[in-house]
């Protein structure tokens, strides 16, 4: 199970969170967000994928941000269409070809498409996206594009029709550890690729509480070891 920590903003805090070795670190490139990032990303281990989070951004802005920050993943958190995702995907392939990174074994930049969920969800919406993104991310529907601080009804995922791996997001914190482990024991979690956390681990928007994150990671690891014994 992968871990994504999203909404990073401050350089020293980024370094401290990176030391916990998450699989993904998310940086929000949406100017209306309190977690909007326009700083400098410190050097990170290659095991951590720098993920740019965008909301209805132009393809040009995304490409510019990838080049500026050397992003390895793009998370689309707006009303992006399948056609938009396909254009972006083709541009990302061209970007790699122009930089000759394909020949050096460089991994393609991942596209994560976000869908907002509350008590129900029409999964037929996913079908046109099957071939134009690498992962789905299910977040809580709220007033903001993300970081609303509460969970959606995970029972909805019993109807998940796809085999595409997905991120589980939305209001996950220390109090949700037992619920996360319970979810991961159920059939509907078969394609759950990663857990995504953000606002429940913040001192303020963009500033993460390192001790809480440590406890979360340790709790998940300990409980999963118990399950496997």
142: containing domain: 2-228
Residue 183 burial (10 A CB sphere; 0-12, 13-18, 19+):
middle
CATH code for position 221: 3.20.20.70
3-state SS class at 161: coil
Give the DSSP H/E element, type plus range, for residue 224.
Answer: helix 210-228
Total of domains in the chain: 1
pLDDT, one tens digit per residue, over 43-73 is: 999 999 999 999 999 999 999 999 999 999 9
pLDDT, one tens digit per residue, over 142-176 is: 666 655 567 999 999 999 999 999 999 999 999 99
Token pair for 3: 């871990």
- For residue 189, CA distances in Å to 32, 116, 124, 157, 186 come to 33, 17, 19, 8, 6
CA angle in degrees (0–180, nearest 5) for 197-143-117: 60
pLDDT, one tens digit per residue, over 76-98 is: 999 999 999 999 999 998 887 87
């Amino acid at each position: 199970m992968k871990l994504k920590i999203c909404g990073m903003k401050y350089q020293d805090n980024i370094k401290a969170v990176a030391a916990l070795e998450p699989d993904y670190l998310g940086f929000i490139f949406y100017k209306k967000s309190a977690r909007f990032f326009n700083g400098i990303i410190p050097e990170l281990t290659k095991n951590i994928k720098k993920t740019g989070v965008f909301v209805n951004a132009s393809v040009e802005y995304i490409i510019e941000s990838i080049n500026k920050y050397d992003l390895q993943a793009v998370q689309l958190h707006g009303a992006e269409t399948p056609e938009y995702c396909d254009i972006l995907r083709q541009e990302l392939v061209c970007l790699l070809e122009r930089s000759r990174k394909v020949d050096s074994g460089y991994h393609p930049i991942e596209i994560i498409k976000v869908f907002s969920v509350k008590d129900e969800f029409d999964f037929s919406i996913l079908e046109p996206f099957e071939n134009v993104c690498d992962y789905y991310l299910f977040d809580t529907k709220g007033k903001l594009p993300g970081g609303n601080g509460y969970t959606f009804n995970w029972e909805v995922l019993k109807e998940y029709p796809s085999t595409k791996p997905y991120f589980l997001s939305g209001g996950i914190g220390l109090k949700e550890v037992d619920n996360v482990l319970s979810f991961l024991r159920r059939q509907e979690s078969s394609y759950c690729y990663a857990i995504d956390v953000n606002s429940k681990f913040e001192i303020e928007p963009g500033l993460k509480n390192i001790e809480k994150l440590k406890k979360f990671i340790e709790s998940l690891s300990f409980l999963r070891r118990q399950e496997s014994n």
